[in-house]
Amino acid sequence: MTFLLRRLGGALVQLVAVSALAFALMELAPGDYLEDMRVNPQIPAATVARWRAEFGLDQPAIVRYGRWVRSVASGEFGVSMAYGIPVSELIAGRLGRTVALSLLALGLTWLLALPCGVWCAAYRGGWLDRLLGGGATVALALPELLVGLLVLQGALWAGWGPVSGRIGPAVAVLAAVSFPSVFRHTRSSVGQSLRLPFVDHLRAAGLSETRILFRHVLPASLNPLVSLLSLSLAGITSASLVVEVTLSWPGMGQLLLEAILARDVAVVLAAVMVAATLLQVANLIGDGLLYLADPRIRRRPA
Amino acid sequence: MKACLVFLLAIHLLAAMAGFVTAYPPAEQHRENAWEAPGARFPLGTDGLGRDQWSRLVHGARISLCSGLAAGVLSAGLGLLLGGVAGLAGGWVDRMVTRLMELFLALPWMYLLLAARAFFPLETDARVVFTALLLLLGAIGWARPARLVRGIVMSVKERESVLAARGFGAGQWYLLRRHIVPETLPALATYLSLAIPQYVAAEVTLSFLGLGFSGSTPSWGSLVGSMGSLDVLTDAWWMGLPVVVLAVVFGCYSIVSSALAETQRQGR
């Protein structure tokens, strides 16, 4: 249990660090909302000063950071200047869409990449291995933006009409972008396990090749893949931001972009914090799975 | 692999000689020829302002490739410095740097990049954008090379040849120059071959989102920026050609970096 508790502590420390970083960025940014009012000749300086005191902006940065953290911890991210409604409401509407998109893409990626990786490791040099291996190599560095644009364009050329705003194409693009790394890792990890002596034993015992592969070799090579699971979710979360904008899926990514263009600081900070929290949760889940899958971790000294 | 290297070299050469291989400057507007399909005069057609797409593609390669290269080198340099210091010093310095590294590796970097970008003015001079982009990418990307370098330094400094050199009275600086830094170079080269296309992609993405170079500066990002609108996609099919070219460029990058990583793995 200490392993998981330590990971939880680490996650909290990282979240605090992210919040400090985000707050520092906000502090360093030239000017603020009231600064724009101060230069406005129609608003008396005394009024601006009173507002400043009212909003607590005259306090030192460390005090304000403390207050901000306290309100964020209670789920309150302030009020969006562009929309005029609480940021938490704004995010609640978008978060579900991003989470749905990311989880669907994650599921699709692993459902495809895991069996393909196992198969290609077993039949190295076969036609599927050469096809997928070559494809994965080419696609490894392909930016999600270009894949999204190619899909948009391809759908039009194929006469399917506009595909933006639908979840299917967005999931497909995300899965296509994250497929290569999961596939390659599965293939190499299973390939390593296949060289272990217990495989010969199973073959000698007369088990079918498919059964050996999926019932015995795959579980034995799962360990690095479990760590990869949370990493691939992190990658998908980052990539989904771009895919959402490209294919007009109204999730957190679009919200963040709109907020940046409107200089809506509270929303920007909230979006970053929520994304960072999502990633930490994903990492914790990954650690938990690792804890379940590998008994050695439970006995590792702290 | 060879074909990809040749293709990438050709792209870089074209970018370097952009002025010689294009008939018009990238910003020159031929208003009477707006939205013209590819032909003898404009090989890749023109955009809504009548600008030559071929010229924009070739000139855009300069800014995009340079940003990728510079940001990659910057992050590798930072990584070499911080990872090297952590690996050599050990103790609390190492623990601090490692913590920081884990933090940066765990961040959703696209979100961070956009958030950091949010605090710079939107419309600025191309040079300012270039510098800001460079610093941001370098500052966010240092963790991966640092982790690589730290691992190598920690194993190299215990190696017998290094211990012997130390025993012969070699100074810290000499050890660093002759034994430790050279060992990290192959790993850094592989890192760069992976990172440079990523940073080029970051520039393209940021400019596409309207947060990088604006349309008046030719970059690959602002070039594909017009693809965001459906009218352009349906009515001007040739505007998609640069996307296809870019996809081929990135495909070549991945093939080359995979080959590099493979040779390095076999060399060990």
Give percent of chain B with pLDDT exceeding 70: 95
Q: Which residue of B has its CA nearest to A258?
A: B209
**Nearest chain A CA: its distance from B210 CA (Å):** 8
What mean pLDDT comes out for the span B234-261?
87
Domain contains A243: yes
Successive 10-residue mean pLDDT values, chain A, 302 residues: 80 83 71 62 76 71 81 78 81 89 94 93 89 88 88 82 80 92 91 90 89 88 83 84 88 86 79 84 82 72 46
pLDDT at B124 over 70: no
Q: Are B224 and A149 in contact (CB under 8 A)?
A: yes
pLDDT at position B122, please? Answer: 62
Nearest to B243 among A17, A153, A245 (CB): A153
DSSP output for A215-249:
IIIHHHTHHHHHHHHHHHHHHHHHHHHHHHHHTT-
pLDDT at A299: 65
Pick the CATH number of B54-267 from 3.40.50.300, 1.10.3720.10, 1.20.870.10, 3.40.50.970: 1.10.3720.10
What is the structure's pLDDT at A30? 59
Parent domain of A193: 87-299
Residue B150 is predicted with a pLDDT of 92
**Cα separation, B103 vs A18, whole angstroms:** 8
Residue A30 in any domain: the answer is no
CATH code, domain carrying A223 = 1.10.3720.10
pLDDT digit string (tens) for B130-165?
888 888 888 888 998 999 999 999 888 888 888 898
Across the interface, whether the CB atoms of A153 and B227 are under 8 A apart is answered: yes
Q: Residues B5, B10, B11, B13: what is their CA dihedral angle, to the nearest 10 degrees? A: 120
B115/A268 touch (CB, cutoff 8 Å), yes or no: yes
Is there a contact between B209 and A149 if contact means CB atoms under 8 Å apart?
no
End-to-end CA distance of chain B: 21
Q: What pLDDT does A51 receive? A: 73
Which of A14, A153, A185, A274 best tests the B interface by mutation, with the highest count of B CBs <10 A? A153
Distance CA A112, CA A119 (A): 11
Alpha carbon of A83: minimum distance to chain B alpha carbons (Å): 17
* Per-residue model confidence (pLDDT) at position A34: 60
pLDDT at residue number A108: 96
Sign of CA dihedral B255, B261, B265, B268: positive
- In chain B, the residue whose alpha carbon lies closest to the alpha carbon of A158 is B234
- Could you tell me if residue A16 is inside a domain? no
pLDDT value of residue A186: 92
Q: Are B227 and A280 inside 8 Å of each other by CB?
A: no
pLDDT at position A197: 92
C-beta atoms of A139 and B114 within 8 A:
no
SS3 A142: coil
pLDDT in tens, B5-29: 999 999 999 988 888 888 888 888 8
More confident residue, A53 or B169: B169
Backbone angles phi, psi at A76, to 5 degrees: -110, 115
**Residue A19, domain member (yes or no):** no
Q: Where do the structural domains in chain B lie, given as residue ranges?
A: 54-267
Minimal C-alpha gap between A241 and chain B (Å): 8
> Do residue B102 and residue A14 have CB atoms under 8 angstroms apart?
yes
CB contact under 8 A, A25 and B119: yes
> Residue A302: what pLDDT?
42
**Which of B109, B117, B254 has its CB closest to that of A138?**
B254
Q: Which residues of A touch B258 (CB under 8 A)?
A: 137, 140
Residue A3 lies in a domain: no
Q: Which of B110, B140, B262 to mutate to test the interface with A (most CBs of A within 10 A)?
A: B110
Alpha-helical runs (H) found in chain B: 2-16, 18-21, 53-89, 91-106, 109-118, 126-141, 143-156, 160-167, 172-175, 181-208, 220-225, 230-235, 241-267
- Determine, for residues B208 and A153 on separate chains, whether the beta-carbon distance falls below 8 Å: no
Task: Indicate whether A116 belongs to any domain.
Answer: yes
Q: List the single residue in B107, B243, B258 with the smallest CB-CB distance to A150.
A: B243
* pLDDT of amino acid A29: 63
B51 close to B81: Cβ distance less than 8 angstroms: no
Chain A residue with CA closest to B101: the answer is: A14
List b or e across B18-51, with b for residues whose CB sees 16 or more CB atoms inside 10 angstroms.
Answer: beeebebebeebeeebeebeeeeebbbbbbeebb
Distance from CA of B263 to the nearest CA of A (A): 15
Contacting residues of A for B204, CB less than 8 Å apart:
143, 145-146
Is A143 close to B250, i.e. CB distance below 8 A?
yes
Question: So what's the ipTM on this one?
Answer: 0.84
Q: B114 contacts in A (CB within 8 Å)?
A: 241, 256-257, 260
- The pTM of the full predicted model, rounded to 2 decimals, is 0.84
Residue B194 contacts residue B255 (beta carbons within 8 Å): no
Residue in A141, A261, A283 closest to B254 by CB: A141
pLDDT reported for residue A259: 84
Residues of chain B contacting residue A259, judged by C-beta atoms under 8 Å apart: 118
Cβ neighbours for A64, distance < 8 A, ≥ 6 positions apart: A56, A57
B122 interaction partners in chain A (CB closer than 8 Å): 261, 263
CB A78 within 8 A of CB A86: yes
In a domain, A186, yes or no: yes
Tell me how many domains chain A contains: 1
pLDDT at res. B268: 59
> How far does A165 lie from chain B, in Å, by closest CA?
12
Instruction: Please tell me the distance from the alpha carbon of residue A232 to that of residue A222, in angstroms, as a whole number.
Output: 15
Interface test with B, best of A7, A15, A149, A249 (most B CBs within 10 A): A149
Minimal CA separation from A157 to chain B, in Å: 8
Residue B52, φ and ψ in degrees, nearest 5 = -70, 115
